[in-house]
Chains A and B, each alone.
Chain A
Amino acid sequence: FQASRAASLLPQLLLRRRPASAGAFALLARPASSASGGLPPLTTEIHPGIKRGAFSQLTDADVSAFEAIVGGDHVIKDADEVLSYNIDWLRICRGQGQLVLRPKTTEEVSAIVRHCNKRRLAVVPQGGNTGLVGGSVPLFDEIVISTSRMNSLLSIDPVSGVLVAEAGCVLEQLDREAASQGLMMPLDLGAKGSCQIGGNLATNAGGLRLLRYGSLRGTTLGLEAVLPTGQVLDCLTTLRKDNTGYDIKQLLIGSEGTLGIITKAAILCPARPKSVQLAFLGLDSFQAVLDTYRLARRSLGEILSAFEFIDSESMRAVKQNLGLSCPLGEHSFYVLAETSGSNETHDREKLDGFIESVMSMDGCATDGTVAQDAGQFAHLWSLRERIVESLLVDGYEYKYDVSLPLADIYRLVEHMRTRLDGRVIRTAGYGHLGDGNLHLNFTTPKFDAKVLELIEPHVFDWVRDRRGSVSAEHGLGLKKSQYIRHSKADFAVRVMAEVKRLLDPNGIMNPYKVLPDE
């Protein structure tokens, strides 16, 4: 039998999908970690200055209480199992949490948090554990509350496009469900096979299509959360417009699990485009990248759905470390311009017009391609989506995610590349050009404190001096909390601290994260 469908034809298409992970790990290329035989060093060793808060110690009575709430099967005490919940996806953090709880309902979450608040036990909410700033794992012995079992899709309304789901639903699965109704999730990121919608909301995840569909702050219509006192906050409306009082859900979105645990979300899903096209261009200067972007906005306008750039160092990493092939020759920069629309003929015409302009523009792209089928589409996107994975193969990765004025974006890369010359394997710059968001990464074979010293705080100072953001979309987590004042006025930070004190009087909800230690 000569099979002819996708699975047998182009097996590499399947590599694009990350396997949905039940808990902590995404099963990908993992770096051989530094010190203790394959395990990352303890976070407390990397940050010896952080002291454990005045929290209680876990007792057998607490464990019994939790067992009564979620059932013995969903209280994880075994050291080997618990370990995986203590390590972040980048393998740069290792916490010392002793216990993982896996509730199924909001009521169970509420009961757990109420107990922890009464007993002053610190907790860490955890979804897909794909965060990149060490915000989703314990530092000391915080109890991990995993939302993975809260994975029911509650409803999809094909007319209004509103999708209501529990926080533990994996993004990619929600997108598949939305597809069956002609809809799509309004966000898309490389971690889609493992990340959960609750975590996406908690981190206000951006991703590849923010350019077109906006941020979760706009597309989230409502949510339900458990506050640090254990009380359930029900703001789960599905209304498009509701100006009745303060919009408290906006406090929780982007709070990175420090103001409560999101348990349900109502998302406004756009219509799934009938026609998606992808152009992949090779360019030889950053100015050409900026000129191409201007051209794209003018000629593709309302159908432009993504505009990403990749530098030559990132492309080299993807080719060398993952063995992927690039259909274009060697160029200093590569650009992915994607369009999404409701009419294929119409969109192809627009894309043809864009390409003609690009090719006749001075010093602009003469090398490029347009994806002719789904296989080429997936392959070209993988050259961008798998950069993070490819850099991990080098060993240890120092990740930075900043917002800058467009003209400054690559100046920072070149500046840091010179500064770190000879000390790192590579300095890679790529990102969501359309959003003014640069992803800047450095790699060394093992963690090197001297390299970290050369990078921080210098790179943050450089960004602050140009009024950029020290964390465009990844959040502050553990790794960047002390740099918050680089991008926010001191008084604003103090107001945030007041809000935190109000909602979390005992400070048990994901301590040591987001706000600086004061």
Chain B
Amino acid sequence: YIHIINKADMAASKGLKILVGCKRVIDYAVKVRVKPDRSGVVTEGVKHSMNPFDEIAVEEAVRMKEKKLAGEAVAISVGPPQSQETLRTALAMGIDRAIHVEIPLAQLEKLQPIHVSKLLAKVCESEKPDLVILGKQAIDDDCNQTGQMLAALLDWPQATFASKIEPSQDSKQLRVTREVDGGLETIDVSVPAVVTSDLRLNEPRYATLPNIMKAKKKPLAKMSPDQLGVDLQPRQEVISVEDPPVRKAGAKVESVEDLVGKLREKGLVK
């Protein structure tokens, strides 16, 4: 499967078609609690919102549209019925339409990046985007795998941990600056490509009221894993989920003499 974009200057063409992935996760400010049976974390009644890195991906797609680098931006989410709210947020930020791949509750907890990337690859076959932007990782599993797996399945180039996306010098490719351990790396990738967003790519906008109202009328299509022909058989089994060990409490001392005394007790000073 190879899709070659028109070699003409990107600015002159009708723009890239972008597919943006959004995941519904527990809000990053929520204190996560482990379930008493240690099978997972409590999600019932807990505040959820869009994965922060995905918000950045959505913002980037909308900005590329505003700069006329992109023509159409489509958001996609793989998740439970409530993922629709996440997609509405994306639509309110300026995405044109959305696709919801609904996962039945029974299979939700066992869903892995390998499944998500296969679902996304199938959608790419029909949607034929020029660019897929995903958050670099989800803040619930911290896997950092979906973008890379998707690129491999599609045999597309990947530019991960992007902190900047712009047209390359000859405008025929994308120039992506990546945040790596040693600093910043700049690479040119041909489209179609998969890019994953890092923290400093942009600062996501607030959804304005008029856009929130408009978002309700934008198209939101539903699909199922069966329709896409993807098998969600889990390849991993979670044995247990536990809290990190509790930090031992310190002790407050009331005076310098107390402090020295305690240090002596612990054999830390003579």
Interface residues of chain A, those whose CB is within 8 Å of chain B, are: 2, 4-6, 9-10, 13, 73, 274-275, 281, 327-328, 344, 348, 355-356, 358-359, 365-376, 378
The docked-state distance in angstroms from the alpha carbon of A19 to that of B162 is 35
A280 to chain B: closest residue by CB:
B206
Q: Knowing A4-B137, A73-B255, A372-B89 touch, does A359 contact B209 (C-beta < 8 A)?
A: yes
A355 to chain B: closest residue by CB:
B209
Q: Does B13 make an interface contact (CB < 8 A)?
A: no
Minimal beta-carbon separation of B45 from chain A (angstroms): 6
B50 lies within 8 A of A359 (CB): no
Looking at the complex, which one of A9, A274, A355, A366 makes contact with B212 (CB distance below 8 Å)? A355
CB-defined contacts of A6 to chain B, threshold 8 Å: 28-29
Minimal beta-carbon separation of B151 from chain A (angstroms): 18
Which of B47, B206, B213 has the most CB atoms of chain A within a 10 A radius of its CB? B206
Interface residues of chain B, those whose CB is within 8 Å of chain A, are: 27-30, 45, 47, 49-50, 52-53, 55, 85, 89, 92, 136-137, 139, 142, 144, 199, 205-210, 212-213, 254-255
Q: Knowing A2-B137, A5-B139, A73-B254 touch, does A375 contact B212 (C-beta < 8 A)?
A: no
Looking at the complex, which one of B49, B50, B136, B208 makes contact with A369 (CB distance below 8 Å)? B208
Looking at the complex, which one of A2, A368, A374 makes contact with B209 (CB distance below 8 Å)? A368
The docked-state distance in angstroms from the alpha carbon of A351 to that of B47 is 17
The docked-state distance in angstroms from the alpha carbon of A50 to that of B208 is 54
CB-defined contacts of A348 to chain B, threshold 8 Å: 85
Minimal beta-carbon separation of A409 from chain B (angstroms): 25
Looking at the complex, which one of B85, B139, B206 makes contact with A4 (CB distance below 8 Å)? B139
The docked-state distance in angstroms from the alpha carbon of A366 to that of B212 is 12
Looking at the complex, which one of A73, A359, A366, A374 makes contact with B49 (CB distance below 8 Å)? A374
A365 lies within 8 A of B209 (CB): yes
B209 lies within 8 A of A378 (CB): no
Q: Knowing A274-B45, A372-B49 touch, does A355 contact B205 (C-beta < 8 A)?
A: no
Looking at the complex, which one of B45, B142, B199, B207 makes contact with A372 (CB distance below 8 Å)? B207
New A-B pairs, 5, CB < 8 Å, besides A6-B29, A370-B209, A374-B27: A358-B209, A359-B209, A368-B209, A369-B208, A374-B49
A379 to chain B: closest residue by CB:
B206
The docked-state distance in angstroms from the alpha carbon of A378 to that of B47 is 14
CB-defined contacts of B30 to chain A, threshold 8 Å: 374
B52 lies within 8 A of A368 (CB): no
The docked-state distance in angstroms from the alpha carbon of A365 to that of B208 is 11
CB-defined contacts of B50 to chain A, threshold 8 Å: 372-373
Looking at the complex, which one of B27, B52, B142, B209 makes contact with A367 (CB distance below 8 Å)? B209
Which of A5, A13, A328 has the most CB atoms of chain B within a 10 A radius of its CB? A5
The docked-state distance in angstroms from the alpha carbon of A328 to that of B205 is 10
CB-defined contacts of B205 to chain A, threshold 8 Å: 327
CB-defined contacts of B137 to chain A, threshold 8 Å: 2, 4
The docked-state distance in angstroms from the alpha carbon of A272 to that of B41 is 20
The docked-state distance in angstroms from the alpha carbon of A128 to that of B55 is 39
Minimal beta-carbon separation of B95 from chain A (angstroms): 13
CB-defined contacts of B49 to chain A, threshold 8 Å: 372-374
CB-defined contacts of A370 to chain B, threshold 8 Å: 207, 209, 212
The docked-state distance in angstroms from the alpha carbon of A373 to that of B204 is 11
The docked-state distance in angstroms from the alpha carbon of A412 to that of B85 is 43
B27 lies within 8 A of A373 (CB): yes
Minimal beta-carbon separation of B174 from chain A (angstroms): 22
B209 lies within 8 A of A9 (CB): no
The docked-state distance in angstroms from the alpha carbon of A385 to that of B151 is 46
A377 to chain B: closest residue by CB:
B29
The docked-state distance in angstroms from the alpha carbon of A476 to that of B140 is 50
Minimal beta-carbon separation of B21 from chain A (angstroms): 16
Which of B30, B52, B55, B209 has the most CB atoms of chain A within a 10 A radius of its CB? B209
Looking at the complex, which one of A5, A327, A359 makes contact with B28 (CB distance below 8 Å)? A5
Looking at the complex, which one of A10, A356, A367, A374 makes contact with B213 (CB distance below 8 Å)? A356
The docked-state distance in angstroms from the alpha carbon of A73 to that of B199 is 48
CB-defined contacts of B28 to chain A, threshold 8 Å: 4-6, 9-10, 373-375
CB-defined contacts of B199 to chain A, threshold 8 Å: 9
The docked-state distance in angstroms from the alpha carbon of A83 to that of B113 is 60
The docked-state distance in angstroms from the alpha carbon of A367 to that of B209 is 6
CB-defined contacts of A373 to chain B, threshold 8 Å: 27-29, 49-50, 52, 55
Can you list 18 contacts pairing A with B, beta carbon distance less than 8 Å? A4-B52, A5-B28, A344-B47, A355-B209, A356-B213, A367-B209, A369-B206, A369-B208, A369-B209, A370-B207, A370-B209, A372-B49, A372-B50, A372-B89, A372-B92, A373-B49, A374-B27, A375-B28
The docked-state distance in angstroms from the alpha carbon of A368 to that of B213 is 11
A180 to chain B: closest residue by CB:
B31
Looking at the complex, which one of A4, A327, A356, A376 makes contact with B142 (CB distance below 8 Å)? A4
Q: Knowing A4-B137, A9-B199 touch, does A378 contact B210 (C-beta < 8 A)?
A: no
The docked-state distance in angstroms from the alpha carbon of A374 to that of B25 is 12
The docked-state distance in angstroms from the alpha carbon of A376 to that of B49 is 11
Q: Knowing A2-B137, A5-B139 touch, does A376 contact B255 (C-beta < 8 A)?
A: no
Minimal beta-carbon separation of B258 from chain A (angstroms): 9
The docked-state distance in angstroms from the alpha carbon of A10 to that of B200 is 11
The docked-state distance in angstroms from the alpha carbon of A478 to that of B56 is 51
The docked-state distance in angstroms from the alpha carbon of A275 to that of B45 is 9
CB-defined contacts of B210 to chain A, threshold 8 Å: 359, 366
CB-defined contacts of B209 to chain A, threshold 8 Å: 281, 355, 358-359, 365-370
Minimal beta-carbon separation of A358 from chain B (angstroms): 8
CB-defined contacts of A355 to chain B, threshold 8 Å: 209, 212-213
B254 to chain A: closest residue by CB:
A73
CB-defined contacts of A13 to chain B, threshold 8 Å: 29
B210 to chain A: closest residue by CB:
A366
A327 lies within 8 A of B52 (CB): no
Q: Knowing A2-B137, A4-B142, A327-B206 touch, does A374 contact B29 (C-beta < 8 A)?
A: yes
The docked-state distance in angstroms from the alpha carbon of A73 to that of B206 is 52
Which of B89, B205, B212 has the most CB atoms of chain A within a 10 A radius of its CB? B212
The docked-state distance in angstroms from the alpha carbon of A344 to that of B212 is 17
Minimal beta-carbon separation of B59 from chain A (angstroms): 12
CB-defined contacts of A275 to chain B, threshold 8 Å: 47
Minimal beta-carbon separation of A444 from chain B (angstroms): 34
The docked-state distance in angstroms from the alpha carbon of A358 to that of B209 is 10
CB-defined contacts of A375 to chain B, threshold 8 Å: 28-29, 52
The docked-state distance in angstroms from the alpha carbon of A327 to that of B210 is 14
The docked-state distance in angstroms from the alpha carbon of A274 to that of B206 is 23
Sorted from nearest, which 3 A-B pairs have the closest CB atoms? A374-B29, A373-B49, A327-B206
CB-defined contacts of A328 to chain B, threshold 8 Å: 208
The docked-state distance in angstroms from the alpha carbon of A55 to that of B12 is 86
Q: Knowing A5-B139, A374-B30, A375-B28 touch, does A369 contact B207 (C-beta < 8 A)?
A: yes
CB-defined contacts of A10 to chain B, threshold 8 Å: 28, 52
CB-defined contacts of B53 to chain A, threshold 8 Å: 4
Minimal beta-carbon separation of B193 from chain A (angstroms): 21
B142 to chain A: closest residue by CB:
A4
B161 to chain A: closest residue by CB:
A2
The docked-state distance in angstroms from the alpha carbon of A10 to that of B53 is 12
